[in-house]
Amino acid sequence: MRCFSFIVRYRFAFAVLALAAGLIAAGLCNSSGAHAAEKDSIPSYGEGAWELMIFTDYFCGPCGFAEKYLDPELERLLAKGDIKITFIDYPGHGKSTALYAKYFLEAIAAEKGYKNAMKARRILFALAGEGKTREETAVKEALKAQGVTLKKTNPTPVYAQWSTMIKRFDVRQTPTCILRFSSTYSKRFGDAQKITDELIPELQKRFP
């Protein structure tokens, strides 16, 4: 259904420029005194030949809808650890997305394992859904108040890899999830309804 789909209104090249502008405007490209998150790699947890790639924007309404159903399934899969789950923040809302992405990466850098990062992700989606918290101080305080540990990090290397991933998989719509098995299987779930109605049951079937 169209109501569950957020179609990006600009071409990929413009989206990349928007993310770059957002990163600069949000002060995310200053690496002074920072530490790279997870060795400068795209945020991912778990292992195995199977990979689930999740492309979302915190300020995308359908993304927030899908997250309510996807989040507990991700927690279950991450606890098992036998599928690789990769998170890619999509630059749908420029500076606001960049600000929230910054704190997601700081949560990842602060603690090993997925729990702190997942808690931060959950809170960031909730804050974005409220449509009120877009000031950096307020975002940081909200995360800390709910027990999220943060560590300053330079997000520039991750940003570059996110841009590469978005282009490589031709992602122009959020939410989008891609389930892959090595190079032999790849299935795209291109809107919230497909994620809730098709992806989650498939994950439950393949990884009981």
Cis omega (within 30 of 0) for bond into 175: yes
| Portion of the chain with pLDDT greater than 90, in percent | 65
pLDDT for 18 equals 52
> How many domains does the chain fold into?
1
Q: What is the pTM assigned to this prediction?
A: 0.82
**Alpha-carbon distances, residue 70 vs 36, 55, 66, 96, 188 (angstroms):** 27, 13, 6, 23, 15
Length of the chain measured in residues: 208
The reported pLDDT for the residue numbered 135 is 84
* H-helix or E-strand spanning residue 187: strand 185-189
Burial of 142 (0-12, 13-18, 19+ CB in 10 A): middle
134, 99 contact by CB (below 8 A): yes
Least confident piece of the model among 2-16, 64-78, 136-150: 2-16
Which pLDDT belongs to residue 57?
95
**Percentage of residues of the chain with pLDDT beyond 70:** 80
Task: Collapse the DSSP code of 91 into the 3-class scheme (helix H, G, I; strand E, B; otherwise coil) and give the result.
Answer: coil
Give yes or no for residue 168 having a pLDDT over 60.
yes
Full residue range of the structural domain in which residue 131 is found: 2-206
Asked if the model's pLDDT at residue 45 lies above 60, the reply is yes
Average pLDDT over residues 78-107: 92
Q: Check pLDDT > 60 for residue 59.
A: yes
Query: Helix, strand or coil for residue 188?
Result: strand
Q: What is the mean pLDDT of residues 114-139?
A: 90
In angstroms, the CA 90 to CA 119 distance is 19
Q: Provide the pLDDT for residue 182.
A: 79
Segment 88-103 shows an average pLDDT of 90
Question: What's the mean pLDDT in 106-118?
Answer: 95
19 pLDDT band, cuts 50/70/90, is: low
Instruction: Give 175's pLDDT tier (boundaries 50, 70, 90).
Output: very high
Confidence band for 40, pLDDT divided at 50, 70 and 90: low
Question: Which has the higher per-residue pLDDT, 94 or 29?
Answer: 94
What strands, in cross-sheet order, belong to the sheet with 50-56? 44-45, 84-89, 50-56, 176-181, 185-189
Contact 109, 35 (CB under 8 A): yes
Residue 200: CATH number of its domain: 3.40.30.10
Q: What are the C-alpha distances in Å from 145 to residues 35, 65, 128, 153?
A: 23, 24, 16, 20
Q: Where are the alpha helices (DSSP H) in the chain?
A: 12-25, 61-80, 94-110, 115-130, 136-145, 156-168, 192-194, 200-206
Average pLDDT, the chain: 83
Q: How far apart are CA 11 and CA 134, in angstroms?
A: 25
